[in-house]
Amino acid sequence: MILLTCQDVSLSYGQKKVLERVNFSLEEGICMAIIGENGCGKSTLMKGILGLKRISGGSIQFSPKIRRGDIGYLPQHQEEQKDFPASVMEVIQSGRLSRLSFPYFYSRRDYQDIGDIMKALSINHLASACLHDLSGGQQQRVLLARALAAGNRILFLDEPMTGLDIHSTESLYLLLRELRKKYHLSILMVSHDMPRVLAEADQILYLAEGAQRFYGSSQDFLHSSNWKGMAEQYS
């Protein structure tokens, strides 16, 4: 089932065009990576899809079966965000607020779901710890848990491995694979972590010079002229 469709999507900052005529669809259970050089519009596209940035052309359509509480978002690494003086439980619960109506009241189901998410991410023992006292890998797990508390059907990840060491990076990739199975997650991930991300993603959306250069399976991308032109950087 197709959960998200982007048709001829264009984005601009003022008079400056960032991206033009991007076309792709995200299917249920699929992990898609948006790749490309810095400044090519990857994060801007993700913000456009999430409604955080107004598109200048085209259309973005979610399946009628996708509700507000089905979407989770982990934005780019921000030091000030991770220095916020809050406990792990408070941070994760804040993700759940997007599902609630005023006055904000957590139900038994909310607490149960948050507990299940923390257990799945192996951070339930950190509930009372302060976020800024944790390691980078632990902090990222907490922020991922907050995103899942907001929605666990489509997960939007913007450079989730930035700032992590090799061990934490591998651990997070393994965790994402496990979460995909547990929640039947669909993932749309912005990344510059190549070729590692090419081994994890089912599909690739490659952006360059303000345009879409490739959309298809990761295997097809690895055999395309696009990757051949990039591969020397990672050999």
Give the burial class of 187: count Cβ atoms within 10 A of its Cβ; 0-12 exposed, 13-18 middle, 19 or more buried.
buried
Residues 6+ apart with CB under 8 A from 37: 208
What does DSSP say about strands 57-62 and 31-35: parallel, antiparallel, or unpaired? unpaired
What does the pLDDT look like over 101-159, one tens digit per residue? 666 778 899 899 999 999 999 999 999 999 989 998 999 999 999 999 999 999 999 99
pLDDT for the residue numbered 69: 86
Residue 32 pairs with which residues in a beta bridge?
188, 203
Residues 6+ apart with CB under 8 A from 91: 84, 131, 142, 143, 146
155-176 core/surface letters (b: 16 or more CB in 10 A; e: else): bbbbbbbebbeeebbebbbebb
pLDDT for the residue numbered 49: 97
Q: Is this model's pTM higher than 0.85 or not?
A: yes
What does the pLDDT look like over 187-225, one tens digit per residue? 999 998 888 899 999 999 999 999 999 999 999 999 998
pLDDT for the residue numbered 80: 47
Nearest C-alpha neighbor of 110 from the set 123, 126, 95, 125: 95
What does the pLDDT look like over 60-83, one tens digit per residue? 999 999 988 899 999 987 654 556
Distances (CA, A) of 187 to 15, 90, 128, 190: 31, 25, 29, 10
Amino acid identity for residue 134 in this structure: L
